[in-house]
Chain A
């Protein structure tokens, strides 16, 4: 089974900052990865698919990159509505698995 290791588990940032979150796969998964945002009490929302493709309606300050085993989610110019928890999810083969999550908090 493929394991996803996500880091950091949490970070503190200010509005306007640039934030980077990383996911590492235990084996190569091509670009079979996406990123989700979850706010308290809500279901997750898909932000990025295919490692780097932005979901329709998602602000362009979000971007994803990577392939194989190393993936990155970057949020440029962090906005107040971006404070949330972010998860990567691989879909290369079953069982799928999420990263452990990164909570982005206000500094």
Chain B
């Protein structure tokens, strides 16, 4: 079965960097785009970034553009989020999620279908 497991969260000072990972299993990782979504404490969901199945295209929310970088290693079935110049407002649970349709894999919708359980990032001095 599809499983996504995030790691790498923790407490970090403002201005510092952190790298999140998302280990994928149970599906052909190299056929699916992957996303990061975050949720600040007590707040709603915020879409953060997406990377195409082959890593050739990436898109970001305006709030993180220029500071965050999404990447993937299809040999290791792992998704990454490199977060630089962190701010207090980046404090959140970070979820990785799978694009709903893969290359050559039928699906009902591109909408995110499988999600991890999240990793907590706290930006504080």
* A96–B109 CB distance below 8 A: no
Q: List the 3 closest A-B pairs by CB distance, nearest first.
A: A49-B109, A94-B59, A43-B115
Interface contact A34-B111, CB-CB below 8 Å: yes
Closest to B107 in A: A49
Contacts of B111 in A (CB 8 A): 34, 46, 49, 89, 91
Residues from chain A with a CB closer than 8 A to the CB of B110 are: 91
Point out residues on A near B: beta carbons under 8 Å: 1, 34, 36, 38, 43-44, 46, 49-50, 53, 55, 85, 87, 89, 91, 94-101
Contact at A46–B46, with CB atoms within 8 Å?
no
Q: Which residues of A contact B100 (CB under 8 A)?
A: 46, 49
Q: B21 CB to closest chain A CB, in angstroms?
A: 17
Name the distance in Å between B120's Cβ and chain A's nearest Cβ.
Answer: 12
List B residues 13-64 near A (Cβ within 8 Å): 35, 44-47, 50, 59-62
Contact, CB under 8 Å: A1 / B50:
no
Residue of B nearest to A34 (CB): B111
CB-CB < 8 A to B95: which residues of A?
43
Check if B112 is an interface residue, CB within 8 A of chain A.
yes
- Contacting A at CB under 8 A, from B57-107, are 59-62, 95, 97, 100
A43 touching B109 by the CB < 8 A rule?
no
Contact A98 B47 (CB under 8 A): yes
CB–CB B50/A43 < 8 A: no
